[in-house]
Amino acid sequence: MATENNAIEELANREYKYGFVTAIESENAPRGLSEDTIRFISSKKGEPEWLLEWRLKALRHWRTMKEPRWPNIHHPPIDYQNIIYYAAPKQKKNPKSLAEVDPELLNTYKKLGISLGEQERLSGVAVDAVFDSVSVATTFKGKLNELGIIFCSFSDAVREHPDLVRQYLGSVVPAGDNFFAALNSAVFSDGSFCYIPKGVRCPMELSTYFRINAADTGQFERTLIVADEGAYVSYLEGCTAPMRDTNQLHAAVVELVALGNARIKYSTVQNWYPGDKEGKGGIYNFVTKRGKCAGANSHISWTQVETGSAITWKYPSCLLIGDNSIGEFYSVAVTNHFQQADTGTKMIHIGKNTRSTIVSKGISAGRGNNSYRGLVEVKKGAANARNFSQCDSLLLGDRCGAHTFPYIEVKNTTSKVEHEASTSKIGEDQIFYCKQRGLSTEDAVNMIVNGFCREVFRELPMEFAVEAQKLLGVSLEGSVG
């Protein structure tokens, strides 16, 4: 008994490893949200007129909308006028090489375990590092250029490939889609843009690394990935953030477009600051992610491991428009201490012979509250649609919550929709069995939880899978049922 408590205490006192601040000058927009704020952002980024108009339209639309109240989460009201919507670290424009990047910035990334230079040499993963609303360095541009692959910051894409951006921006998540998408469309800072040309298989995993630094800034990334016919790309998104007392809003939008026979694999390991043990502080992660399987035989997979954030609210979804298209969603969501999550997916079957797979694993510990919310919609014309959904919840402790809100709407009688759900606890007997074989309580819990998440971890690119397992161990901090 005594030893168990000691282990739990020790783990709980482990500090959030990424909690520190980079002392760097910031060029911020004044607090608040108005048309002037938009113009400020747009001019700072040197955007063309059409984009400014697009933003302003979104802002006007946002003003007519109300923040949704239906999710199973609770938070104090957000004062949208009390947020800084743009913060850029002062540095030289457009570094041609890492040598031109502010060394303080690079040092920040080293502390976080990412050294751009090393990445460039060893792993072969191209990294577009976003730091406080501005992309820092994009490695491997040259190599990708040879294949005709475009992978750059969103801001750069607007400058260098305006036609592509204009064609696809808002085509999957229109500005008026929802409250936070509208907000994002008005004030989005930066993000990634990626275009894979016809028939090209991107030879390396593309990755983006986020961080929020200055106090009270909201992060509003905008990411757009387009895979042309027959193309393939695997994209990794991983995030951390420093310790803050006031909540920070993160309302990103990610749009994926897969044309005929194309495939996009989008993986996320999310470790935003989750708030302290009393539930104070932490990131609000309100994200709209959607993929459009536009062409026949196209395929989009979402894989996410969400361990951070005070509140996670996102539904990476797929529009299965092309015939024979496939949508997949694999998720592990962890809520510990006072974290809340309302997350899931929407699979909209529109074309013929479409397939979707949903595997959601929710882990609740402490006083965490975890909800899965999913929609499987089979439209009238979606002949022969197939869906399989599996939602499993694992409760660690007796003060946490796990909820499931599955929505199934089927309008075509040739379709087949399957839904399985389970709720379980890690039993004392299981822990004792492991201990009697020589394993510590911590190892036993980690092992059992990882076993629980196996089907999802299997879908992650290998580097991420290892990070995900470690993250899970830290997030759960010895909680045992």
Partner 1 sequence: MSLLEIKNLHAGIKGNEILAGVNLTVNRGEIHAIMGPNGSGKSTLAGVIAGREAYEVTGGEVRYKGTDLLSMAPEERAREGLFLAFQYPVEIPGVTNTYFLKAALNAIRTHRGQEPLDAVEFLSLTREKMKLVDMDETLLNRPVNEGFSGGEKKRNEIFQMAVLEPTLAILDETDSGLDIDALRIVAEGVNKLRSKENAVVVVTHYQRLLNYIVPDFVHVLVDGRIVKSGGKELAYTLEEKGYDWVKEPQAALPAGA
Q: Can you give the binding site for partner 1, defined by CB under 8 A?
A: 1, 3-4, 424, 427-430, 432-441, 443, 447-448, 450-454
- Sheet strands (E) in 259-400: 263-271, 283-293, 299-306, 311-314, 317-320, 326-335, 340-349, 355-365, 369-378, 386-396
Instruction: Report, in Å, the least distance between residue 399 CB and partner 1.
Output: 20
Q: Cα–Cα distance between 474 and 181 in angstroms, integer? A: 32
* Cα distance between residue 371 and residue 333, in whole Å: 9
Q: What Cα–Cα distance (Å) separates residue 480 from each residue in 55, 95, 137, 271?
A: 48, 49, 43, 21
Nearer to partner 1, 50 or 432 (CB): 432
What the block records as the tokens of 419 is: 């839904």
Sequence letter at residue 219: Q
Q: Which is nearer to partner 1, 177 or 455 (CB)?
A: 455
Q: What are phi and psi of 447, to 5 degrees?
A: -65, -45
Q: Residue 106 and residue 100: Cα distance in Å, rounded?
A: 10
Taking alpha carbons only, the member of 278, 451, 262 closest to residue 361 is: 451
Q: How far is the CB of 454 from partner 1 (least distance, A)?
A: 5
- Residue 39 forms beta bridges with which residues? none
**Shortest spacing between CB 55 and partner 1, in angstroms:** 47
The nearest distance, CB 341 to partner 1, in angstroms, is 21
The token duo for 455 is: 């089907």
Nearer to partner 1, 169 or 334 (CB): 334
Nearer of residues 384 and 450 to partner 1, judged by Cβ: 450
Nearer to partner 1, 46 or 451 (CB): 451
Choose between 274 and 478: whose C-beta lies nearer to partner 1.
478
Q: Which is nearer to partner 1, 203 or 427 (CB)?
A: 427
State which H helix or E strand residue 227 sits in. strand 222-227
Cα–Cα dist 147/165, whole Å: 19
What's the min distance (Å) between Cβ of 479 and partner 1? 17
CA distance 210 to 193: 14
CB of 456 to partner 1, least distance (A): 11
- Output the smallest distance, CB 267 to partner 1, in A: 21
- Quick check: 67 and 194 in contact, CB under 8 A? no
What minimum distance in Å lies between the beta carbon of 33 and partner 1?
46
- Measured from the CB atom, the residue of 399 and 458 that comes closer to partner 1 is 458
SS3 state of residue 302:
strand
